[in-house]
Amino acid sequence: MSPSQNKRWKALIVDDEELARHVIREFLQPHAEIEITAECANGIEAVKAVAEHKPNLIFLDVQMPKLTGFDVLELIGTEMPVIFVTAYDEYAMRAFDVHAVDYLLKPIGRERFDAALERAKNRLGEKMPSAHELAATARPPQQFLERLVVKDGTKVTLIPVAKLDYAEAQDDYVALASQGKKHLKQQTIAGLEAGLNPGSFVRIHRSYIVNLERVVRIEPYGKDSRLAILTDGTRLPVSRAGYARLKALLDERN
């Protein structure tokens, strides 16, 4: 017996175009096993709807205001199957890199839609990659993050990378310090470091990454350690290896 037999599915449709949502709704009508639990016109609505409805399947647009489909995928931290729906074929490789079930190009044909739906049903029960794996593979090589997306319950905060002062490791989380506030994001500091431009951000300590633009000076602290003093007066510990990296980058800029 296939895993999809006798299975009731809850589906979420996410697209900023009403017409696109209507087409998916129409194509799902013959499939009595699928219940559309919510429709969302943007990524922020989608994040809230996933938390509320816990769907089994998401039809997800790529290009939307504020949050892209890839941003949504990082935030929902889910193992549910995702079918990307978009008018732009340049995202196809990225969609499969983040283990999407399928990638439907608008305008969608019914036969192609049904094939994607069948693939999604067959995916039921398979172990999906973690949200952090998805976030890493969704970014093309040598393309660094321009913003950080943080979820707190149903609240979503976007932090431009240029406004990130420093990041502090807290177990499996990082505390992102920006404009006098701290935002907690579920990610390792090594994972964050991999996404930041090494010409602008430096790992000064096993627990700290700092924005070079915020460093005012380096002061000695104890026998073999130092402190980085930031523009707002924050004092961050600098390890021996971190000092070598920091000094090299600061010397390059001077």
Last-in-domain residue among 121, 137, 153: 137
Is 78 in the same domain as 97?
Answer: yes
Residues 9-39: tens digit of each pLDDT? 899 999 999 999 999 999 999 999 999 999 9
Is 149 in the same domain as 105?
Answer: no
Is 94 in the same domain as 202?
Answer: no
Is 81 in the same domain as 184?
Answer: no
Q: How confident is the model at residue 237 (pLDDT cuts 50, 70, 90)?
A: very high
118 belongs to a structural domain: yes
4 belongs to a structural domain: no
pLDDT at 225: 82
Q: What is the mean pLDDT of residues 165-172?
A: 93
Residue 53 is part of a domain; what is its CATH number? 3.40.50.2300
1 belongs to a structural domain: no
Is 157 in the same domain as 228?
Answer: yes
What does the block give as tokens for 250?
């600061």
Mean predicted lDDT score pLDDT of the chain: 85
DSSP alpha helices (H): ranges in the chain?
Answer: 18-28, 43-53, 69-76, 92-97, 110-123, 131-138, 189-195, 240-253
Give pTM, 2 decimals. 0.64
Q: What is the mean pLDDT of residues 176-199?
A: 91
Last-in-domain residue among 108, 137, 166: 137
Q: How confident is the model at residue 229 (pLDDT cuts 50, 70, 90)?
A: very high
165, pLDDT greater than 60: yes
- Do residues 209 and 202 lie in contact, with contact meaning Cβ atoms separated by under 8 Å? yes
Residue 196 is part of a domain; what is its CATH number? 2.40.50.1020
Q: How confident is the model at residue 50 (pLDDT cuts 50, 70, 90)?
A: very high
pLDDT at 232: 95
Is 113 in the same domain as 23?
Answer: yes
Residues 72-101: tens digit of each pLDDT? 888 886 578 899 998 877 766 666 666 688
Is 130 in the same domain as 174?
Answer: no
Is 129 in the same domain as 170?
Answer: no
Rg of the chain (C-alpha set)? 22
Number of domains in the chain: 2
pLDDT at 96: 60
Helix/strand/coil (H, E, C) string of 50-95?
Answer: HHHHCCCEEEEECCCCCCCHHHHHHHHCCCCCEEEEECCHHHHHHH
Distance from chain centroid for Cα 104: 21
The alpha carbon torsion through 86, 89, 92, 93 (nearest 10 deg) reads: -150
137, pLDDT greater than 50: no
Last-in-domain residue among 137, 168, 192: 137
5, pLDDT greater than 60: no
Q: How many CB atoms lie within 10 A of CB 222?
A: 8
- In angstroms, the CA 8 to CA 48 distance is 22
**Domain of residue 171, residue span:** 144-253
Is 52 in the same domain as 157?
Answer: no
DSSP 104: E
